[in-house]
Amino acid sequence: GQQVMQIPQYQHVQEGEDFTTYCNSSTTLSNIQWYKQRPGGHPVFLIQLVKSGEVKKQKRLTFQFGEAKKNSSLHITATQTTDVGTYFCAGVGGSGGYQKVTFGIGTKLQVIP
């Protein structure tokens, strides 16, 4: 079945440093979604990537979807304390008329001021 691996599981960075989390799927995806969960909160949708090789930016966040549509990354430039939280990728894929969503385990980001 479809599996989505996400690394690293934890990351501590000094405020101002960059941060990257990676997702790899065992199968080709239709699209990939990214979510952020603040401590004590629930996951909140950030972005969806659909096209092979797609790159999208949201302020200091850059999202990439691999050419083979099996991997993705989220890069944060110059982290701030407001970036603290767990970042999840969710791969959407499947055969036939039904698509399935599989979440990665998440990367917990801690930013040291």
| Alpha-carbon span 80 to 103, nearest angstrom | 25
Q: In terms of Cα–Cα distance, which of 84, 89, 59, 58 is closest to 72? A: 89
Only segment of 51-59, 64-72, 77-85, 95-103 that touches other proteins (CB under 8 A): 95-103
**Site for other proteins contains 12 (CB under 8 A):** no
| Alpha-carbon span 53 to 62, nearest angstrom | 13
**Site for other proteins contains 30 (CB under 8 A):** yes
**Site for other proteins contains 26 (CB under 8 A):** no
**Site for other proteins contains 7 (CB under 8 A):** no
**Site for other proteins contains 72 (CB under 8 A):** no
